[in-house]
Amino acid sequence: GEVVRKIAAGEVVTGCYSVLKELVENSIDAGASFVEIEIRSGGKEYIKVRDNGTGMTLEEARLSLKPHTTSKIATIEDLDSLSTFGFRGEALSTIASVSRMLLSTVGVEDTLGVTLEVTAGEVIGEKFFNGARGTTVEVFDLLFNTPARRKFLKSVSIEGRMVTEMMQRFILSFHSVDFLYIRDGQKVYDTRGLTGIEDRVLMIYPELSRRDLLPFKEETREMRIEGLVTLPVRTKRNRMGENIFVNGRYVRQFELNYALERGYGEALEKGNFPFAVVFIQIDPVEVDVNIHPQKLEVKFASPATILEGLKRAVRSAIRNAGS
């Protein structure tokens, strides 16, 4: 019942950024090539995610708001080879249960779309419209019906900053998806017209220039490690510029950050950290991504291979730049 839903809300809704994360991951799971994100007041007042993905039929839309419904997992074996992000079927229904939501969607086979109006999990209206394929989810007044929990949301500026940081990771990670990100009416990021990961890095870190960027690639039979690091002189005083993705998921795992930094060796002065975008692709059976509820940590079956590979890849990129 309701109590269970409110407990689930504590896991899914840890801040406006976590709502955005679930919605954008759904858009990517739906095969979107363009995702528009808009927030107002850090997301506390308003969050919108619009995509051009597969959309949903009326039945699917209704079902998506029910707890524990997912279209993404058929058998328990699927859990091992999971390539989509969501699979618990909890996010949308949980977010709907603690907000006012408009869910508008047009399915692949449909020309008629439906908008479901939801308040605290209850569908209170259904309207039909003609529109382009895809889905738009709008979330108003997050946690309005759990005032005690709403108090735990951070200030507008902190919530907004966390959303922006999350958008940076999406933009870097999914470089074949276009993103438009609007915050309080201002366009913050628009990837349309950019070509490739370098352009995206330069958009996010305007302090860098193209010649600071060193691409690298290291491939073995069981993994591929590639990305960009910056010249040792282009550094930061914290690790916020180190973006590491494992099979498309952003991770914060100090072993990986250390391996990256060790690749620089002496070239990196103490207290300085590089900018980096690192993509590690490995067989999903070699990695467990579900040990942390926010999925920021992963567990590798053979970590030494990965860490050595990363260090070696970065080292050779730095060496080549120096010679």
Q: Which of 205, 231, 229 is nearest to 217 (CA)?
A: 229
Q: How many CA atoms lie within 13 A of 114 on its CB side?
A: 17
Cβ contact 39:47 at 8 Å: yes
Among 153, 140, 168, which residue's Cα sits nearest to residue 250?
168
Can you tell me which of 18, 52, 54, 257 binds ligand ADP, judged by CB under 6 A? 54
Tell me the closest approach of the beta carbon of residue 22 to Mg ion, in angstroms: 5
Does 91 contact Mg ion by CB under 5 A?
Answer: yes
**Is residue 208 within 8 Å of residue 200, measured between CB atoms?**
no
Pairing of strands 213-219, 186-190: unpaired
Kindly indicate which of the ranges 62-70, 146-154, 159-167, 253-261 contains the residues binding ligand ADP, using the contact rule CB under 6 A.
Answer: 62-70
Question: Cβ distance 180 to 36 under 8 Å?
Answer: yes
Q: Report the C-alpha gap between 140 and 17 in whole angstroms.
A: 14
| Interaction partner, residue 54 (Mg ion, ligand ADP, none; CB < 5-8 Å by kind) | ligand ADP
- Closer to ligand ADP by CB, 26 or 235: give it: 26
**Contact 99/13 with Cβ under 8 angstroms?**
no
Cα dihedral value 175, 176, 177, 180, nearest 10: 60
Residue with tokens 């890095």: 201
135 part of the interface to ligand ADP, by CB under 6 A: yes
Q: How many CB atoms lie within 10 A of CB 140?
A: 16
Nearer to ligand ADP, 22 or 261 (CB): 22
Please name the residue that has the structure tokens 């550094």. 235
Q: Which residue is nearest to ligand ADP (CB)?
A: 86
Choose the contact partner of 64 out of Mg ion, ligand ADP, none; CB within 5 to 8 A by kind. Answer: ligand ADP
Judged by CB under 6 A, which of 26, 146, 173, 230 binds ligand ADP?
26
With binding defined as CB under 6 A, does residue 90 bind ligand ADP? yes
Distance CA 320, CA 323 (A): 5
Pick the piece of the chain touching ligand ADP (CB under 6 A) from 2-10, 54-62, 144-152, 158-166.
54-62
| Contact status: 89 vs ligand ADP (CB under 6 A) | yes
Q: Which residue is nearest to Mg ion (CB)?
A: 86
- For residues 137 and 98, what is the distance between their CA atoms, to the nearest angstrom? 14
By CB under 6 A, tell whether 121 contacts ligand ADP: no
* 86 contributes a contact to Mg ion by CB under 5 A: yes
Contact partner at residue 71 from Mg ion, ligand ADP, none, CB < 5 to 8 Å by partner kind: ligand ADP
Cβ nearer to ligand ADP, comparing 62 with 161: 62
Stretch that binds ligand ADP, among 22-30, 176-184, 200-208, 259-267 (CB under 6 A): 22-30
Interface pick for ligand ADP out of 41, 57, 70, 119 (rule CB under 6 A): 70
Q: What gap in Å lies between CA 71 and CA 73, rounded to an integer? A: 6
| Options 27, 97, 191, 235; binder of ligand ADP; rule CB under 6 A | 27
Q: Which is nearer to Mg ion, 19 or 91 (CB)?
A: 91
Name the nearest CA neighbour of 257 among 235, 271, 236, 278: 278
Note whether 64 binds ligand ADP by CB under 6 A.
yes
- Choose between 67 and 303: whose C-beta lies nearer to ligand ADP: 67
Q: Is 43 in the site for Mg ion (CB under 5 A)?
A: no
- What CA–CA distance (Å, rounded) separates 78 from 71? 12
At 219, list the tokens: 């491939």
Q: Return residues touching ligand ADP (CB under 6 A).
A: 22, 26-27, 30, 51, 53-56, 64, 69-72, 86-93, 135
Q: Return residues touching Mg ion (CB under 5 A).
A: 26, 86, 91
